[in-house]
Structures are given as C-alpha cells and as structure tokens.
Structure 1
Amino acid sequence: MTGNGTHDARRIREALGHVVIDADAHHVEISVAFADFVRDHGGGALLADPAVRALGLTDSAGEQVPALDQRRRRHISARPVWWTPADTLDYASVTMPALYHERLGEAGIDFAVVYPSRGLTLLSLENEDTRVGLARLYNEYVAEIYAPYRDRLSPVAVIPAHTPAEGIAALEHATSVGLRAALMPSFVWRPIPAFADAPPQYRSRLQRIDNFGLDSEYDYDPFWAKAVELDVPLSCHTSGFTLPGHFTPSNYSYAAGHFAAVGEGTAKSLFLGGVTTRFPGLRIALLEGGVAVGVRVYGDLVSRFEKRGRAGLDRLDPTHLDAAELHRLAGRYAPGLTRYAPEQLVPGTSAPDGQVDDFAASGVTSVAEIRDAFCRNFFWGCEGDDPLVGLAWDGRVNPLGATLPAMMGSDLGHWDVPSFTLPLVEAYELVEDGILTPAQFEEFVCTNAVRYYAGAGSSFFAGTAVAADVERIQSATWERTA
C-alpha cells in the first residue's frame, strides 16, 4: 500500500463526512503489570500454573517456545516472534491507554473496540480454575485501566466457554464490571471417545474440535440466550496454529489464512446446527479472517442446499433408478456388465441413522432464509489492506445479491500494522482503486460496526464520543427497514 503518515489519515477522516469505528484494535498487555494486578487481587496462585508461565503471562521473558528440533519432533507450530511494533511511540500507544486515547485521532479513528493480545491465550488454558480465574481477573484489569478513556476506547471481555455454565458466569461477571462486548473461543478441543483410554502423552493429540453448534458436546443454547438477554455481541478470534494443514514447525508465515479457516468452521457449525435460526438476535463476529471466506461459505451453503436440501435430495434418491432399464442399457453400451443382476447395478441405498438432509438441524427451508440468517447473525472482521473486501458487496458473486457485513479491524498493536496511523490510509485505497464506492466504504468503516456492536438500539455506544452519530445511523437503519 502506498500511503502513510499522520497527515494522510487525518485528511482522509476529515473528508469522509462520517465517523470511523475500528472494529478490531488491540491492547498489548505488559505481562508484569497484569501479573501484579492478579497478585494484588488474590490470584497469585493462578500464576504458578506451568501453562501460564510458558505463555509468558507472568514476567517480561515472553513465551517459552520450544527449539526447532523439538517443534519438529512434536509437530507443533512455529510462533510469531517479534509480533509487536518496534517503533517506541507506536508500542507505547498500544500498551498505555492514555496515549492510545490521545493518538487515536492521528489514525483518523473516532472510536476503537480494543481486543486482547496475550489475553487471547487465556481462553485455551486447560486447567479450569486457572482459565476461569485469570479470565475474570483480566476483565477486571482492562475495565479498570480503560475506565477513564471509554469515550473513545472500549475494551473487550474474554469469555471462557468450555461449558455453557462457564460462559454464562463469565458473561454475567463481565457485564457487571462494565464491559459491553465479549470475546469467546472459536472452538474447544474435546477428547474423542474412541481414544479416551489412550496413554496421556498421546491423548492430547487425539482430539476433535467443538465449535459449539453442530455435534457439540454440550447444549449451548442457554449461553446464546444469555448473550441475547444481556445484549452482548460475541466475537471469535482464536488462532489456527494447532489445526493440521495450517502450520509448520519451521515457518510462521505458512499459517497465513488460519484465522479464515477457524472462522469458517465456527460459522458452518453455528449455522448448520440451527443456532442462527433459534437466536435471530445473536450477533457473532469472526475476526481477522476477512469476508472472502464468508462469501465462499455463504455461496457453498446455498449451492449445497439446492442440491442436498430436502427438495434437492429427491433427485439423488437411488430408489428412483430403473434397474431393468440400466440392465438394458448395459447390454448395448457395456455388455460386460450384463453378467450382474439388474439390482446389482444400482448404488447402495443405505442411510445410516436416517441422516439424509444436511440442513434439517439448521431450521432453514429456503435459500432466502439462508441469506437472511447468514447475513444477519455473522459479521466479518477484515484488515484495511485486504482487497477482497469488495466481495462482500458483489451481487454478481453472492447468491440473491446478498451483502455480507464486513467491518474494518485495524489490528493495531500487531506485526501486520507497520504504523499506528496507517490502517485507515490502507483501507481508503479500496475507494481510490474503485473496489468500494464511498457509500460501501462508510458501511465498512462505520455502519456495520454499529450494527454489530449496538444492534438495533443497545447502549453500547452510550456516553461515547460517537453516540450522536450512532443514534443517527440507527435511526436511518430503522427508517429503511420499517
């Protein structure tokens, strides 16, 4: 991308005529400060967990990464070393909320939703007491340090969800300390029953992914209901470093696309499991993977529904085949097949457990209902320099001319953002290059974030610097849909 610098970001923002909402910025935690907060609030014992120390959450030493020979032996991923900005001012900005708040205007951003960085790893901790306890303290920590800056910066809660009850308790606590948005894991690793008796050293590698919807180990409906009741938008931002085919021990960049792969699995699980039908008010964001994967999944679902939905399946039912006619045709075109009885030429008709209709659990009965649920419940986090953002608005590609809600996430604080002031500049090149119209760009950097975080009329932005702008956006949306 070509632009950079404070002047360009300010100039772009001033010319827009609407606010810019960063849907996915990041806070980079100073580990020693968080560890001291944990100790000061009675959680010192939690820091003794070896997994916590290995993740670098207790001191300034950083994550304990095994050497390459050990990564190859155990087949574990290379890690994103040097993952924060090396510019002192930019690094200070994403670690110090006061400076973050002061400089946000330089980036052309009016309001930013701030996600964890090291805090992301808390959701995957295996020990329940450690996971739940540290997540709770983390939420209290960010609520406290961001309290004076909530007019422009909104920190996000981390919500462990190995069980629905665990998730519900975390949601209730997070809202009680004033956090208005929540980050849950994209999936949980579960034991595969057939390998439950395997030796412990192998059992951890013989697991399956539970995406909380289709074939989940638990009924998560109470958790979804609680999120809707509390009006908390849920986001998923788990890395795919542990997914087969999405990592290599020696090269971190081989993992490119891992967020998209994780987001795809979560969206399919929740949709095909019927979560989006049962909870139309649930808002789920799949962050950092980009909207292109959402476009593909939506198109795949529509195509498969037309072929494998209840109506399409009738065209595949082998009982409709005429065995006698097959035998006659074989006599003319493949005489060697006539030595078989006519019924042997027909494919098998077994349907284990009667499972035939892949869309039965989803609750949808038409392509229009797929569009409505998919484009209502799922929001897609996109980095500003992603040229595939335009696919979200491409009616030539999306069945029924659907528009998928894509949101700009700066990813401020991480390696892929060369400068604090660059994300909006890169995003605006989508307009300069003719990929998005100005109206579509407004949806990308503003309207869709309002739809996700505030819904039809919640108080997410109440008391913030953009509250009046959000109210106008919501009023306009109500008028268009009335």
Structure 2
Amino acid sequence: MTEYSRLKTSPSAAIRATLDYPVIDTDVHTNDFTPAFEDYIAKYGGSKLVDELRKAESSRLNSKSNGKDWYQQTPEERQYNRTIRSPWWARVTRNTLDLATYTLPALLYERQAEQGSDYSVLFPNNVLAPAGASPENRQALQRAVNHYHADIYRKYSDRLTPVAGIPMGNPQEAIEELEFAVKTLGLKVANIPGGVKRPIKAIADKYPVDKFPEVARYASYIDFYGLDSEYDYDPFWAKAVELGVPITTHYGSQGWTGRSSISNYMNNHIGHFADGSQAFAKALFFGGVTRRFPQLRVGMLEGGADWGAHVYIHLVDRFSKRNLKALQNYNPDLTNADELFELFERFGGEITEGYSLSKEELTKSVLGSSFSRHSRAPIGSELEDFAAAGIETIEDIRDRWVNSFFFGSESDDRTIAAAFNNKANPLGVKINAIYSSDVGHWDVPDLTSPLAESWDLVKEGVISEDDFKAYVFGNPYKFYTEANANFFKGTAIESKVGNIESPQVDKSLVVV
C-alpha cells in the first residue's frame, strides 16, 4: 500500500518545524467529486439546478463564437471572431497524490502538516460558478454550492474552512446569501466576484439582448460596486462588518483590452489578477467605501502584493498634485495673459511673425484644445476626485488603503519585496502581504513546496525574517481577526497564538 505521509521528506514541514509561530495559508484551491456534488445539488433543488451548474461550468473560462469553442475553430475563424485563448491545463495531474488531495477533504486535512500549514482557507474551484447561471436560478444554485462545501468540510474545521461564494448581481441577493452562509452554514469568509458585467443601457435599449445577443456580448461595462454603480452596495458592506466577515476575491481580467490574445494564454494571464483586483480596490477607495466602513477587511488574492504598494505610492503622488488646492496650478482662469503676451513679444521671434493676436486669443491658442474641447469647465464637486474617499492628508490615504486591503502573494513571488519596502512606501509603511500558496492550481505542482519556496526569499535576501513572519502569520491573522475577533476560536491556531492580540475596531462605527 502506498504511504501517503511524506512528512519526513517534506521541505515545507522542515521549515515549519523551525518556526515558533503558526502558518496560515489564505488560498488553497480544491476540487469537488462531481457525482457526489451533483447528487447533492439535485437533492437540494432538483435537476434544473444541476443543469444550470453544468451549463455555467461549461461556459466558464471557455470562449466561444457561433457556438464553437477555440479548439473547434480554424485559425482563420479565431482571427475573424477574435476568439481569445482561454486557460488550458490549469490543474495538477501528474502528481496523483496531490490531485486526490485537492478532491478528498480527509486527505487534505491529513496532509496539512506536510504542507507546512496550521490552518488553510479553502476556495473550491467552482465556488462562484453560479455567477454564470440564469438570474432566476443563480441565488438558489449559489446557496446549494455553499451548503455542500460547508457540509463536507465541517468535521475538519479546526484546520480547514471553505469560503462562501456570494453572488453580487444586486445588494439584496448578496446580503441574503451572506446571512445564510454565516448564520445557518457557519461559514466565516466570503468570496465575491470583483465586478459584475452589466449592459450599457443606451445600447441595450436599442439592441435588445434577445434579438441581438452578439451586440450584448460586447456592449457592456463592469460594475466594481464602489464607484459609479447603479446600485447602492453600502448595505452589503455594512452587513459584512456586522457579521464579522472578511471579504475576498480572485478577480481576473483575461479578455480585457491588452489581455485578449487569440493564440497565447500566458499573454492573457500574466498580471491579470493584479489588474482586475486593482480596478476593484480603486473603486472601493475612490467611492468612499473604505472611508465609510473602516472596519471592512478586503483580501485580493493571486495578484501578488507589489501592485498594492504601486497603487498606494501613486495615490499619494497624484493627491499631492491634484488635491483641490494643488489643482489651481492647472486652472486656465489663472493664466496671466499679460505676462504671457509679454513673453511672446520678447521671445516669439519667427514663430509668431505674421500673426496678430489679442491677449485673449493668444492665451486660448497656447492653452490649446485640451482646455477648449469640452462644452464647459468642471465646477464644484466635479473638481474633487478624492472627495468621496474623504482624503485631506496622505495619512488618510494610508488609513483607507493600507489598513483596509490585504494582498495575496504566492510563495515564489519575488515582487513581494515591494510590499515590504518601507523606504519606498510613503509614511514608512509596509503593505499587508498575506501568504496565499495557490495550492491546487498549475503554479503549485507539489503542495509540499510553497512554504519552503517562501523561506527561500529570506535566504536570498528578498525579504527579512520579520517580513516572512508577517507574511505567513501576522498579516493573515490580522486580516481575519480584525474582521472577527473570534475567527480562530476552536481552531488549531487558537492554542498557538498565546497572548497575541489583534487590534479591534468599534463595529458600530460608520463614518459618514
């Protein structure tokens, strides 16, 4: 009989044995055993829900044109239809032990020590598949999927917890499923899509989807909830805070402009989680969500942590140049027409010879079309891009970006150095990078490797030992317990943290 425990040879277990603190893996992907999964869905909601699940799964990450997927089309058809290359061979297969591990809860539980983890948050690969179901069945299917995962992992809750998939088509369905997931199923982490694709109404009214499905396919925008949404999602964020639920997302951008190659998956893949999550996070920031709900904790996974530092730095830079006071440097009404006219008279030379312009005409000409192409100048609140976020100082940016957001970085990602570079990051801060192994996907061919790969970053001087501790324990612990002080109660982490405490915030506080 094959021996399924390789603890003595696991490189990650060897690293874990040297640490005096636990390791929290915030991103482990699992598969479902299809026969049992579909039987559960059928008992939950009948065969129609199973049909919806199959339909959603078959269309997910599978580009089609005229009913034919990428592999059914000739190169000429792909070019004609611009059918993008979707992900392929994205799961571990040759490592049979790992393949079984991601599918069997008991085996995954047994191998946690071998993985070098004390506690893992699980993201079943189909947890958000219901997002592709029809509107009338989406919520019921999502509830069934969450219920199944809660049931099969409940007995392993001291070391494993699955996320609850939350549909975000509108705030009401999101609130209903969040409450059910937490109060009835006992789930503790929410996973949401970082955006929802919606029709552009002006085009949809002219080209109804039932008559022009191809037009509807392209004439759309993405609603990131926090900024310019047709819905008010504040009740959902408030409910997440009330229930003590940290919000997570794996939001990709394959298919967006610049990520729509019809031949190359890697071209579309590299950086896409960072781009998708950045759009989501900026919408929450600029829309004032993190100002109104400073208790909300949001984790964005698989995109790395360097982009969190990148955006933070540029928020500070942009604010310094485009805050309300600094904007006066670009106010066309403050151009000194007399001085400009004098300078052109003195230094214009051959450039202005033969032109006779008044001071007003000269000023208008020099300012150019960038100041004249619009029907009028912006006024009032139109001048304040940072107003909804409530930014008056760079400390406000720190509080509403750094404190609210956590960034999942995979074990071998050397760009994590940017997150911990407190010399480059304004106000000397370090970005909240959290250990997200991504075990279960193609970038982790062996689950015994990730923690050891992360320690290699210390040995190579990419990050310090203190940074490593923050990465695999301190920041993940903070992410979950700042949302819910009792998150680890009754788990393997509780007995290992001793007197470590996580700062708590007043859940009744809502800034207006």
Question: In which range does the TM-score fall when normalised by the shorter chain?
Answer: over 0.9
1:146 maps to 153
CA distance in 1, matches of 2:85, 2:238: 38
Indicate the residue corresponding to 1:429 in structure 2: 456
Q: 1:75, 1:208 → 2: CA distance?
A: 19
Counterpart for residue 65 of structure 2: none
Amino acid at match of 2:189: A
Question: Once superposed, which parts of structure 1, at least 4 consecutive aligned residues long, lie more than 6 Å away?
Answer: none
Is 1:410–1:423's contact at 8 Å kept on the other side of the alignment? yes
Equivalents in 1 of 2:215, 2:9: separation in Å? 52
Partner of 1:60: none
TM-score, length-scaled by structure 1: 0.92
CA spacing shift, 1:234–1:450, aligned 2, 3 Å: same
Q: Is the 8 A contact 2:120 2:159 kept in 1?
A: yes
Confirm whether residue 315 of structure 1 aligns to residue 339 of structure 2.
Answer: no
2:340 is the counterpart of 1:326: yes
In structure 1, distance between residues paired with 2:30 and 2:403: 28
Matched-pair contact (CA < 8 Å) for 1:408–1:444: yes
Q: 2:41 aligns with which of 38, 43, 46?
A: 38
Q: Matched residue of 1:190: which SS? A: strand
User: Where does residue 466 of structure 1 map in the other structure?
Assistant: 493
Q: Which moved more, 1:355-364 or 1:343-352?
A: 343-352
1:92 alignment partner, SS class: helix
One-letter amino acid matched to 1:275? V
Q: TM-score, normalised by structure 2?
A: 0.87
CA shift for structure 1 position 393: 1.4
The answer to whether structure 1 residue 229 and structure 2 residue 232 are counterparts is no
**SS of the residue 1:219 aligns to:** coil
1:77 lines up with 2:84 in the alignment: yes
Secondary structure, in 3 states, of the residue corresponding to 1:414? Answer: coil
| Alpha-carbon separation, structure 2, partners of 1:181 and 1:262 | 20
Aligned with residue 167 of structure 1, among 144, 159, 174? 174
Q: Secondary structure at the match of 1:24?
A: strand
Pair 1:26-2:22 in alignment? no
SS at the partner of 2:222?
strand
Against the structure 1 CA distance between its residues 159 and 367, is the aligned structure 2 distance closer, same or farther, given a 3 Å change threshold? same
| Structure 2 segments unaligned to the other structure (5+ residues) | 1-6, 62-67, 505-512
- CA displacement at 1:32 relative to structure 2: 3.1
- Compute the displacement of 1:47 (Å): 2.7
The residue identity in structure 2 corresponding to 1:103 is R
Cα distance in 1, alignment partners of residues 414 and 111 from structure 2: 27
* Alignment check: 8 A CA contact 2:406 2:479 kept: yes
Provide the C-alpha distance between the structure 2 equivalents of 1:154 and 1:146, rounded to a whole number of angstroms: 7
1:216 maps to 229
Structure 2 counterpart of 1:91: 99
Where does structure 1 lack aligned partners over 5 or more consecutive residues? 58-63
* Mean CA deviation greater in 394-403 or 281-290: 394-403
Q: Deviations over 1:230-283 (max 9, x none)?
A: 010001112222322123122211121100000110111110110000000000
Kindly state the Cα deviation for residue 65 of structure 1 after the two structures are TM-superposed.
Answer: 4.3
Query: Residues 93-132 of structure 1 correspond to what in structure 2 (within 5 A)?
Result: 93-123=101-131, 125=132, 127-132=134-139
| 1:342 corresponds to 2:356 | no
Q: Which residue is 2:477 aligned to?
A: 450
> Could you tell me which residue of structure 1 aligns to residue 259 of structure 2?
246
**Alpha carbons 1:8, 1:425 under 8 Å: kept:** yes
The alignment partner of 1:154 has SS state of: strand
3-state DSSP of counterpart to 1:288 = coil
Number of aligned positions between the proteins: 467
Query: Residue type matched to 1:33 in 2?
Result: A
| % same residue | 40
**CA 1:316/1:352 → structure 2, altered by over 3 Å: closer, same or farther?**
closer
Q: Which residue of 1 is the match for residue 443 of structure 2? A: 416
Q: Is the 8 A contact 2:252 2:274 kept in 1?
A: no
Asked if 1:292 corresponds to 2:306, the answer is: yes
In the alignment, which residue of structure 2 is the partner of 1:281?
Answer: 295
Distance 1:397-1:93 versus aligned 2 partners, 3 A rule: same
CA deviation profile, 1:425-472 (whole Å, cap 9, x unmatched): 111111111122111111100111111112165221111111133463
- Deviations along 1:30-84, one digit per CA (max 9) or x if unpaired, are 3333212100212421232473252489xxxxxx943244554433432222221
- The 2-side partners of 1:368 and 1:160 are apart by 34
State whether structure 2 residue 384 is matched by structure 1 residue 360.
no
> What CA distance in whole angstroms lies between the structure 1 residues aligned with 2:38 and 2:60?
10
C-alpha contact 1:313 1:357 (8 A) present in aligned 2: no
Q: Which residue in 2 is equivalent to 1:133? A: 140
User: Which among 177, 191, 197 is matched to residue 183 of structure 1?
Assistant: 191
Deviations 1:131-158 (A, max 9, x none): 2121111100000000110110010000
Report deviation, 1:403: 1.1
Structure with higher Rg: it is: 2
Greater mean alpha carbon deviation, residues 187-196 or residues 135-144: 187-196
Determine the C-alpha separation between the residues in 2 that align with 1:222 and 1:456: 17
Output the CA distance in 1 between the equivalents of 2:30 and 2:240: 24
The one-character-per-residue Cα deviations of 1:306-363 (angstroms, maximum 9, x if unpaired) are 1111121122212211112111111122254452221232433742464112111111
Matched, 1:54 2:80: no
Cα distance in 2 between the residues matched to 1:374 and 1:385: 25
Matches within 5 A, 1:383-394: 383-394=410-421
> Could you tell me how far 1:188 is from its partner in structure 2?
0.6
